[in-house]
């Protein structure tokens, strides 16, 4: 247990000093079937590690008070107290915590979810006892990880708490209070967060350091500080949703979403398709090859490009418009292409550097990074 907490603390310290990526979860401990079992009504204390495996069970209560709980099965806990400690949910496992008062992570609390976590109550990454060396960290740790909290709020109210999503997360909403740190909601490449309402009261709380990610808001966003400094954050705003940034405007600020790409009338993150980043193979004797989205067979090439960039759609699919943006989200050029299968962008004095290409069809919006040599 002590070793686990030491590794967790090192990971957070690395994040605080580098800020180059989201906090990375340590691997989930293995299960052989001989490890000591957790039991209903138990308190798991410092230096203790308890496993859950076998058939599905429901515990009436459990308290984590400095120890480690490793879930490798289908476990439901009715009354759960999370004073301090570590929770691992292994791949294929499910941890369900039933209704009640909001679950408080009070400092030195870590959740590493490689499977599925279901909370039927709110979650507060609380600052009462949190510090730089005793943070609150909740990581949806893998691309297939699922976190469901459909009827309540996640609240971050201090600078020592982070929510990291590498998979799919759904909740009523996320509240980032004024004390929240920059990047306290850190989103991995192609990760998805679904919520009814987003409330942001601290600057640049959402970060996408490893590439494009999506946040879908079905109802409303209430924004008092700029949400992000990352152009790779895609906001999918529902058809009946809207943004209230009156408190931000009253502070003399204008860009509620910051550099995020906002898609209005968007129903799911699936409506925003992220093309893969292409690394040229210097061995096919070519400087570059087409980049393909395997679901559509679309081509964007060459990438990197020097004087010409081609966007080509397969038979039966057409373009609406194509926009080349710089990394701050500023429009470099826009091409209207309604009904066309192919457009060619010619270099008109575009400086070398990294750009974001936004490709709009009648059904989807595609985003891809491109490099101008």
Residue 146: the pLDDT is 98
Average pLDDT score over the chain: 88
Whether 196 and 254 map to the same domain: the answer is: yes
Last residue of a domain, one of 253, 270, 287: 270
Q: How confident is the model over 69-96, as a mean pLDDT?
A: 97
Residue 16 confidence (pLDDT): 45
Mark out the alpha helices in the chain (DSSP H runs): 2-18, 246-250
Average pLDDT over residues 89-112: 96
pLDDT at 315 over 90: no
Domain of 171, in residue numbers: 2-270
Single out the residue in 245, 270, 295 at which a domain terminates: 270
Q: Which band of pLDDT confidence, cut at 50, 70 and 90, is reported for residue 126?
A: very high
Q: Is the pLDDT of residue 2 over 50?
A: no
pLDDT band at 268 (very low <50, low <70, confident <90, very high): confident
Q: Model confidence over 272-312: pLDDT tens digits?
A: 766 544 434 444 733 344 444 445 678 889 888 888 999 99
Q: What is the pTM of this model?
A: 0.80
Q: What would the pLDDT profile of 60-74 be if each residue is shown by its tens digit?
A: 999 999 999 999 999
Q: In the sheet where 331-340 sits, what is the strand order?
A: 272-274, 365-372, 353-361, 319-326, 331-340
User: Looking at the structure, do residues 286 and 161 belong to the same domain, yes or no?
Assistant: no
Sign of CA dihedral 270, 204, 142, 147: negative
Please check whether residues 283 and 226 belong to one and the same domain: no
Kindly indicate the confidence band of residue 44, based on its pLDDT and cuts at 50, 70 and 90: very high
Residue 231 and residue 281 share a domain:
no
Long-range contacts of 296-305 (CB under 8 A, 24+ apart): 296/364, 298/359, 298/366, 300/275, 300/357, 300/359, 300/368, 300/370, 303/278, 303/368, 303/370, 303/371, 304/280, 304/370, 304/371, 304/372, 304/373, 305/370, 305/371, 305/372, 305/373
Domain boundary among 255, 270, 285: 270
324-328 average pLDDT score: 78
């Amino acid at each position: 247990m002590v070793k686990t907490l030491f590794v967790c603390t090192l990971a957070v310290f690395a994040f605080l000093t580098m800020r180059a990526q989201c906090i990375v979860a340590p691997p989930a401990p293995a299960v052989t079937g001989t490890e000591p079992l957790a039991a209903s009504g138990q308190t798991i204390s410092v230096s203790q590690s308890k496993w859950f495996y076998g058939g599905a069970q429901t515990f009436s209560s459990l308290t984590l008070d400095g120890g480690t709980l490793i879930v490798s099965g289908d476990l439901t806990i009715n009354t759960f107290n999370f004073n301090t400690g570590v929770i691992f949910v292994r791949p294929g496992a499910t941890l369900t915590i039933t209704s009640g008062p909001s679950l408080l992570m009070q400092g030195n609390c870590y959740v590493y979810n490689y499977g599925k976590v279901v909370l039927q109550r709110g979650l507060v990454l609380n600052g009462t006892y949190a510090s730089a060396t005793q943070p609150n960290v909740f990581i949806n740790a893998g691309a297939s990880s699922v976190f469901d909290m459909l009827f309540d709020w996640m609240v971050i109210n201090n600078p020592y708490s982070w929510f990291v999503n590498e998979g799919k997360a759904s909740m009523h909403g996320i509240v980032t209070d004024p004390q929240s740190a920059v990047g306290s909601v850190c989103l991995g490449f192609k990760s998805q967060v679904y919520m009814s309402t987003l409330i942001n009261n601290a600057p640049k709380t959402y970060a996408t350091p490893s590439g494009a990610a999506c946040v879908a808001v079905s109802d409303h966003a209430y924004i008092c500080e700029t949400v992000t400094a990352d152009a790779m954050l895609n906001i999918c705003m529902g058809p009946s949703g809207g943004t209230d940034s009156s408190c931000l405007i009253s502070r003399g600020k204008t860009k509620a979403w910051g550099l995020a790409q906002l898609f209005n009338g968007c129903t799911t993150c699936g409506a925003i398709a992220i093309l893969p980043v292409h690394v040229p193979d210097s061995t096919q004797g070519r400087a570059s090859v087409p980049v393909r989205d395997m679901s559509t067979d679309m081509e964007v090439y060459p990438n990197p490009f020097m004087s010409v960039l081609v966007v080509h759609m397969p038979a039966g699919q057409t373009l609406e418009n194509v926009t080349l943006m710089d990394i701050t989200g500023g429009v470099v050029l826009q091409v209207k292409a309604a009904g066309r299968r192919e457009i060619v962008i010619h270099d008109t004095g575009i400086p070398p550097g990294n750009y974001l290409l936004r490709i709009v069809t009648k059904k989807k919006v595609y985003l891809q990074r491109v490099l101008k040599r």
